[in-house]
Amino acid sequence: LKLRLKRPGAFYSSPPVFCDLSTKAVSPVPYFPCRPLAAREFVPFNTPIGVLLNIWAPGEKTVRVNVKLLKHDQKQPLYSMDTLLQVQPSSAGACIKPPFPKWDEGDYQLRIVYHTATDSVKQALPVHIIWFNKPRSLFSLEYALQPLQLVLSKEQFRSIKSGDAKTRKQAFRNYWRKQDPTPETALNEVMLEFYTRVDSADFRWGNKGERGWRTDPGRIYLLYGQPDRIVDDSLDPVHPHMVWIYNHPDKRLVFTFEALNGRTRYRLIEEHEESY
């Protein structure tokens, strides 16, 4: 098999390559410090990403490069960089590091312009930031709103569910923005933990007629997380039950569930606190 490749002209730039900065290099090239993304412009959410630039410019000593990244529906760039690349001997390259973890899911555009003394090359590339492992319960706004009734007052829950879809979405964002321990990044760790628990409760305790977080064990799991200790006597022929124990610094929370229908359902029958 023979391939005939077109010789690059006097000035040529290859498409940018995205790489995951949390990985190690797979190439000896100095400006290729990390593993390239298999999905090209589909960038994983909340991940440090490098953008690898490369330019073929024989006869030039330096190439000026201007990089901008914009939200698809905005004109003002979120990120802008202008720098000089040293040509050695016929090409130049660099790895730039835009602050991708600061940006939310969505569609963006990367614009790159290379300048020499006599010529310029422009590139425009769509960039899609995608939360690949997003909790399932966050895919639908209406689905995500419902579990909030366990942590909001009746008035607050009624307010966040009122209005049209755009209003509800903004109210949802505003609520979780106030709970965000790291507002400088796009990832809200508290929201992630909450909806990860929702998914787990739905998977473990849900049935055809009821979402898992609405059941007694699902509700307790959503509010308190994984128990520190579980005493499972669900097979006891006289009193089938299960006990969840949460150890807090100043007290112990104990929840007792009655096993029903051959352990297919559990009903909370007792809860109490114990002081140390």
158, pLDDT greater than 90 = yes
pLDDT at 249: 92
CATH of domain 12-130: 2.60.40.10
For the segment 12-51, what is each residue's pLDDT rounded down to a tens digit? Answer: 888 999 999 998 876 666 666 788 898 888 999 999 999 9
> By percentage, how much of the chain surpasses pLDDT 70?
95
Q: Compute the mean pLDDT over every residue in the chain, rounded to the nearest whole number.
A: 92
Dihedral in degrees, nearest 10, Cα atoms 187, 73, 53, 11? 180
Q: What is the mean pLDDT of residues 121-139?
A: 96
- Predicted structure pTM score: 0.86
pLDDT at 23: 87
pLDDT at 32: 67
Find residue 230's DSSP bridge partners: 244
pLDDT at 28: 64
For the segment 49-75, what is each residue's pLDDT rounded down to a tens digit? Answer: 999 998 988 888 999 999 999 998 888
87, pLDDT greater than 70 = yes
Q: Cα separation of 260 and 63, whole Å? A: 73
Where along the chain do its domains lie? 12-130, 134-207, 227-276
Question: Residue 154 — pLDDT band, cuts 50, 70, 90?
Answer: very high
How far, in Å, are 121, 202, 225 from residue 190 at the CA level? Answer: 44, 19, 12
For the segment 189-234, what is each residue's pLDDT rounded down to a tens digit? Answer: 999 999 999 999 999 999 888 899 999 999 999 999 999 999 999 9
9, pLDDT greater than 70 = no
Task: Centre a 10 Å sphere on the Cβ of residue 165 and count the other Cβ atoms it contains.
Answer: 9
7, pLDDT greater than 90 = no
Q: Cα separation of 93 and 53, whole Å? A: 5
